[in-house]
């Protein structure tokens, strides 16, 4: 049964155009898939995203402004003039209060970030999140710092609580960070308490899975997971998260270990691109010696900041059996 065509006179031209465009799109897709991440099409994609990232960040601001505007409109439409004026003043004051609250929260976040920088003795640069991925298949954020600030592809990125991802592309002014929760992400990790190594991977369901951990290793809920630095893709010794669930028994090859992610894209506003983290390396070095005293040192270093210290303290006793695991 032939399909009917509305414009039969233009049909052959339209079909030729259709076929040509189809072929072009196949060629472009093939080139994109075959070229490396440094290829021309990838670069074009990065540049376009970088160009539109500031526009994208308007979305978040627009949402806040729309809320305030809606409230202001409600007030402005009151019948009585005096009441309207007073309401307008209230609206302005509310807006000012909201703005002040925004500054307070930003201040709090920055303090948290700076605290993290101090804790790990991080050498890096803080960037504002100015864009988010507009497609469902990639969990990325765009930061306001790029190669001009020393950011390079492959650098580790930390949020307020720990590692959130890795820089995957850079322009002079911006950088794109693939979050750990993205299914294309993977970070070499180790469990702080028993030095067992594995790989933390993102998934489509939004959870982080710790994989490739040896079946006989005991993993408990609450165990702290750190970057191991193996493969050089992530700076070692940084907090990835905590084990929140273990499905399956010790010895089972199908055991699933779920780690809590450190941040969600829709809540992130700032992040630190890590050039180097001295303390993180020191923690791992100390622990890998299998020396309780050394672990204690690591613990001392962190106690003041209240983060992964307890895990280190606990490691002291287990240091001996982690000498093997931590000897990387």
DSSP per-residue letters across 219-273: --TT-EEEE--GGGSS-TT-EEEEEEEEES-TT-TT-EEEE--S--GGG--EEEE
End-to-end CA distance of the chain: 68
Interface characters, 203-232, with another protein (x: CB under 8 A)? xxxx--------------------------
| Collapsed DSSP state (helix, strand, coil) of residue 153 | coil
Q: Give whichever of 60 and 246 is closer to another protein, judged by the CB atom.
A: 60
* Contact assessment for residue 158 and residue 134, using Cβ atoms and an 8 Å cutoff: no
Stretch that binds another protein, among 82-90, 93-101, 110-118, 198-206 (CB under 8 A): 198-206
Site for another protein in 119-138 (CB under 8 A): 131-138
- Say which residues have a Cβ less than 8 Å from residue 274's Cβ, sequence separation at least 6: 120, 122, 123, 124, 155, 156, 157, 158, 235, 238
Tell whether residue 64 is a contact of another protein (CB under 8 A).
no
Tell whether residue 58 is a contact of another protein (CB under 8 A).
yes
Query: Cβ 116 to another protein, closest distance in Å?
Result: 25
Stretch that binds another protein, among 23-31, 73-81, 109-117, 273-281 (CB under 8 A): 23-31
* Contact assessment for residue 307 and residue 120, using Cβ atoms and an 8 Å cutoff: no
Residue with tokens 């790989």: 199
Interface characters, 248-267, with another protein (x: CB under 8 A)? ------------------x-
Q: Give whichever of 33 and 253 is closer to another protein, judged by the CB atom.
A: 33
The DSSP letter of residue 147 is G
Distance (Å, rounded) from C-alpha 163 to C-alpha 184? Answer: 16
Chain positions contacting another protein, by CB under 8 A: 1, 3-7, 14, 17-18, 21-22, 24-29, 31-33, 41, 44-45, 48-49, 52, 55-56, 58-60, 62-63, 131-138, 140, 176, 183-184, 201, 203-206, 266
């Amino acid at each position: 049964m032939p399909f009917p065509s509305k414009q039969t006179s233009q049909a052959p031209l339209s079909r030729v155009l259709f076929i040509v465009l189809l072929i072009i799109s196949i060629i472009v897709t093939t080139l994109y898939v075959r070229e490396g991440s440094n290829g021309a099409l990838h670069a074009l994609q990065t540049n376009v995203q970088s160009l539109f990232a500031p526009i994208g960040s308007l979305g978040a601001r627009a949402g806040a402004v729309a809320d305030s505007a809606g409230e202001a409109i409600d007030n402005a439409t009151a019948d009585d003039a005096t009441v309207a004026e007073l309401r307008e003043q209230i609206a302005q004051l509310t807006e000012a209060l909201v703005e002040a609250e925004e500054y307070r929260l930003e201040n709090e976040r920055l303090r948290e970030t700076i605290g993290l920088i101090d804790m790990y003795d991080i050498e890096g640069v803080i960037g504002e999140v100015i864009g988010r991925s507009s497609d469902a298949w990639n969990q990325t954020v765009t930061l306001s710092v790029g190669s001009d600030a020393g950011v390079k592809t492959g650098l580790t990125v930390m949020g307020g609580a720990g590692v959130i991802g890795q820089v995957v592309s850079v322009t002079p002014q911006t950088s794109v960070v693939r979050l750990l929760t993205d299914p294309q992400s993977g970070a070499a990790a180790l469990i702080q308490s028993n030095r067992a190594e594995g790989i933390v991977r993102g998934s489509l369901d939004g959870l982080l899975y710790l994989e490739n951990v040896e079946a006989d290793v005991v993993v408990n809920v609450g165990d702290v997971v750190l970057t191991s630095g193996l493969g050089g893709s992530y700076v070692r010794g940084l907090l990835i998260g905590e084990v929140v669930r273990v499905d399956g028994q010790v010895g089972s090859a199908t055991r699933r270990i779920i780690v809590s992610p450190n941040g969600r894209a829709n809540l992130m506003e700032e992040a630190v691109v890590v050039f180097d983290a001295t303390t993180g390396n020191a923690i791992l070095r100390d622990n890998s010696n299998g020396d309780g005293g050394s672990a204690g040192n690591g613990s001392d270093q962190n106690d003041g900041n209240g983060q992964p210290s307890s895990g280190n303290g606990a490691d002291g006793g287990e240091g001996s059996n982690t000498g093997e695991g931590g000897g990387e």
